[in-house]
Chain A
C-alpha cells in the first residue's frame, strides 16, 4: 500500500474542511475519508486533470474538476510536496527554486549586481562610445554652435582677439574635417574648453597668463584634440547613457538612492574626463613634435595653470589630471623625443597681438 499523507479536502460546493488521507498511485491521486455514517468515501483524481493552485515551501494546494467549481485538496506535508513533484516529473527547475530559495535569491542578487555594475562601468560606456563615433559631423557642428551661442549670450566677445587667435590657429597646420572656430570671451576666470563640432572657447585671462606662443600652441593643440577625437560628443553620450541606465534600473526605487547613484555617476564622469584630458595631452605633444614646436610650451602652459590655480578656481581643475603629473609626462616626452625646434614668426606676430590691451591687468 502507498504511503498516506494527511490533508484537507474541499468539495467545491461548501467551505467545510474534511480531513482526508491522500495517496499517490500510478495514474491517480486518491483521496479517502470517513463520512458521517462511518462509510469510507474514496475520490479518485486522474493525474492529467489535476492542477496546482498554489505552492510554497511548506504548503501545496491542488484542484481537480472538468468544470467550475473545482474540488480542492490542501496539504502541508513537505514529504508529499516532494513525492507529488516526483510523480508529476519535469518540475525539477521549480523544485530547485523552492528548495534553495534563500541561497538562490542571494546568489542571483549577487550575480545581478555584478552584471549591472559591469554593464555600468564598461558595457554602457562602450556602447555609448560606439554610438558617439557614428554621429555625423554636421550634427556635431550644429550642436556645438547652439551650445556656443548659449554660453556666449551673457558674455562679451573680444572680437579683435578672436580674429587673431584664429590666425594663430591656422599656423598650427592641424588637419581636420571640422570647421574649427575659436571665440575669445572676456572673463576673469583662467579657462578654455572645446565644444563638439569645432567650437573652442578661450577666456581672455587665459591668454594673458601665457607668455610664449608655444604655450598657446600647446593649449590650442590640446583643445583641438578634444574636437578631433570627438571628446565632447563622447562625453555627452556617456553621461546621458549613464543616467538612462541608472534610471532604467532604479526607476522604482526611492529618491534617496537616486541621489547617491547620481553622485556616483558624477564621480565616474570625472575619471572619464581625466582620461580624455590625458588623451588630448598625448595628441598635443605629438602634434607639437610634428610641427617642430618646442615642448617647453606645454610644460610652460601647465606651470602657468598651476600658478593661476591658487588665485581662481575653475572647471579646469576638477575635471583635469593633476598638473604636476602632466608636467612630468610632458618632460618625459621631451627627453625621449629630441628634435630641433623651428620658430615660427607668424605665430609670434599673432601672439603679440593677443597680448596687447588687456582690461584685467
Chain B
C-alpha cells in the first residue's frame, strides 16, 4: 500500500483553522435572509451551514474535518424540542391567566426545573450527534457516555453547588468534563481528561479576587488559564500510550485580540463581527498542540452511526455552547 508522500502533506499533527471572514459573512447573510423569508423554518439548515463551515475549515495534517449532519436531521429534533417547550409555555401562561397564585408559582417552578433538568439530556444527545456526525478521513468520532450516569452526575453536582452556595461549581464542571471528554472516541483513539476540581477552583478563585482589582482586565488571563487548563489536561490514548495535548494561549495576546476585535466590530458597525469571530477561533484552535507521537495514519474505524439530533437542538435551545 502506498502512503501519501506529497511534499505539502504535513505530518506534524498540526491542527489548523483556515476559515475566511468573507466566507463566514456570506454564510451568515444567506442564513439570515433565508431564515427571515421562511419565518424561521430555515433555522436548522442555517445551523448546519455554520457547523459545516467551522468543521470543514478545521484541518489536521492537511485533511479537513467533515460534519455530515444535515438540516433535515436537525429539523426533526427542532420540532421535538419546540413541541416540548411550547407545551410547557402554554401550561405556564395558562397558570398566569387564571391569576391563581399557587398555580402560577408551580407553573414557574415547573418551567425552571424543566430547563435545568434538560441540561444533561441536551449534553448527552448533542455529544452523541455532533461527534457521531463528524469524521476525518472517513473515520468517525463518537461519544460512549451513558445517559443515566450523566444525569446522576449533573443532578448531584447541581444539588451540591446549591448547598455549598456555589463553591462546589468548579468540582461539578470538572466532574462533567472528566466524564464527557473521557467518553469521546475518534475511531480506536480515545480522549481522557485529567483535570482536578481543586485546581479549577483556584483558577476561579484567582479571577474572583483579581477581576475587581484589575477592573476586569484580568478576564483575558482568566480565559487563558481556563482554556489552557482544559486543553493541557486532555490526552489522546493510542494503543496503551497516553499523549497529553498542549495549548499556548497567552493572556497578552488574548487582550490584544479582544481589543482589536472590539474596534473591528465598532468601526464597521457590526459588519466586521464575522471577521472578529474568525480571528478568535483561528487563534484558539491554532494554539492547540498534538504531540507528534500520535499516529493519525492508522486509526481504526470503531464507532457506530448516530443520527438523532434532538439533543443538539435542545442544547442550542438552552443556549449552551460546546467546544
A residues in contact (CB < 8 Å) with B: 8, 10-19, 33-36, 53-54, 56, 59, 61, 63, 68-72, 74, 101-102, 105, 108-109, 112, 248-250, 252-254, 256-257, 260
Contact = CB atoms under 8 A, between A and B. Distances in A.
B269 interface: yes
Nearest to A13: B301
A18 B9 CA distance: 13
Nearest to A14: B300
Contacts of A53: 66, 68
A17 B3 contact: yes
Nearest to A257: B270
Interface stretch (B101-109, B120-128, B196-204, B291-299): B291-299
Given A12-B138, A17-B4, A248-B36, A69 B301 contact: yes
B41 interface: no
Contacts of A260: 269
Contacts of A34: 2
Contacts of A68: 304-305
A248 B56 CA distance: 30
A55 to B, nearest CB: 9
A72 B138 contact: yes
Contacts of A54: 52, 56, 64, 66
B136 interface: yes
B3 A256 contact: no
Contacts of B305: 68
A19 B2 contact: yes
A16 B1 contact: yes
A15 B29 contact: no
Contacts of B317: none
A58 to B, nearest CB: 11
Contacts of A8: 4, 63
A59 B23 CA distance: 15
Contact of A108 (B30, B52, B266): B30
Contact of B56 (A56, A253, A256): A56
A112 B33 contact: yes
16 contacts: A13-B301, A14-B301, A15-B137, A17-B63, A18-B1, A19-B2, A36-B2, A53-B66, A54-B56, A68-B305, A70-B138, A72-B138, A101-B23, A105-B29, A109-B29, A256-B266
B25 interface: yes
Contacts of B36: 248-249
User: Which of A33, A69, A71, A253 has the most chain B CB atoms closer than 10 A to its own CB?
Assistant: A69
Contacts of A102: 22
Contact of B138 (A33, A63, A105, A256): A63
Contact of A105 (B22, B56, B64, B304): B22
Contacts of B56: 54, 56
A128 to B, nearest CB: 18
B157 interface: no
A13 B137 CA distance: 10
A256 B139 contact: no
B35 to A, nearest CB: 10
Nearest to B305: A68
A108 B1 contact: no
Nearest to B28: A252
B90 to A, nearest CB: 24
B311 interface: no
User: Which of B3, B32, B137, B273 has the most chain A CB atoms closer than 10 A to its own CB?
Assistant: B137
Contacts of B290: none
Contacts of A35: 1-2
Nearest to B4: A17
B138 A71 contact: yes
B265 interface: yes
A346 to B, nearest CB: 52
